[in-house]
Structure 1
Amino acid sequence: MGDFYTLSFSDNQGLSLDVQGGKLAAIIKTVLDNNLQATKVLLIGHSTGGLAAREYLQGLARVLDAETPILYREDVAKIITIGAPHQGSFWAEACNAQFDILNNAGICKLFHLNIDPNNIVVEELQPNSSALNNLNDLATHPLPSNIVYVSVVGIGQPILSSLTDFHDGDGIVSDSSQNLISVTESLPLQQQSIKVNIPFRECSNRKKYRMSGVSVKLTPVRQPI
């Protein structure tokens, strides 16, 4: 059993994905510097946390206001992404877009969501954004082949893929976007996906899930995989 660490970004809406990846890289280094018997960590990233982790693994992470990226240090054994929008989410596009049928308002404004539609993350999470296209250009920025990749995919909740079309997903991100395999396709990587059915949730309707080994975001590994 290893030690467990969690990382919460101070301003994840105001930080680009590559800068979030830079913060994660710094935390990983600090964890390993304080656990000299460990050489690698296990990463668990929920939503954009999974993309921030990929920014580091693919050598795209950077420190704020720096142009030089942070090189991946071969210090990750396994990454589990949970509901990560590897190919973006229509909600990010709808949040910022202005629709005539919504009185020229985006969804975030219409429903008074606590999200700034003009922040950098909303822009970068739009399907086919320059940030996601760069991250998913695996020929230029490959994923390390000596890491185990697991995608936890939420299903059972319809998700808008446009104003008129619905796909299966977790209610925010489609199942295909959550699955890293849909990006890596036939690349020779150690990867798998796990689908988790998400029941409809109302007020006071709670359901507990027991997921072995999936309870934290970062833990040092004393025995490298």
Structure 2
Amino acid sequence: MTAIKKSSALNGAACGYLWQLLRTIPSVYPQMREMEPRQLEQFELSPQDLASRQALLKLLKTRAAAPKPVCLWHNCELLDRQVGENSPLSLALLRFIAIYTLHPGLQQMIEEAGDADRQGSRLPLLAAMIGFSPEALRHYLSGANWMREIAFFHHEADSLLGVSINMDLLLAEKLLTQTLEKPVELISDVLEEMPPSQLTLDDYGHMQLGALVEHTSVLE
């Protein structure tokens, strides 16, 4: 919850996802009304804000229209453009994963939505929150994609959204708070540097490329 206090813009983005959540699964609303004030505070909401579902939707939509977290939006675009697919869908999904990682209130509400919605697949729910069709998201998730390779998420049949979110908290914090210019700056905290190799040219003698390696060493 400390991450939320760093940026009301972050909370505005989370409210945008909550707005889509309530529109997609209306049955979440009664569960929200039973939440404790300290839980609602994670969205900067009070029990009075939940007196009417329509009024709540209007409030959340207004917050969602506010300026987005500047650093987070910039850094996600940089990362997706230079490391990922540079596509609107992958960028929207990356931003969602970052907000989800940083906002425990959103995590809890998605869990509540999973309990309220008994229809099986959560993919339409995730698609609605990021603003794409279920078909487009299903096609993206079923193919090779850079976020799966970096382990930002992986498929789990029994997970709430059909995928398990795994963004490192240090990376999410950096995306939120630091304006960076190179992708390597964004992921330096979550990549482990390998120790220097102890192999020598003699270790490659059994390979067909052994002669080429020796020739290359002479050129160097």
Task: Calculate the TM-score normalised by the size of structure 2.
Answer: 0.30
More helix by share: 2
Larger Rg: 2
The one of the two structures with greater contact order (alpha-carbon pairs below 8 A, sep at least 6) is 1
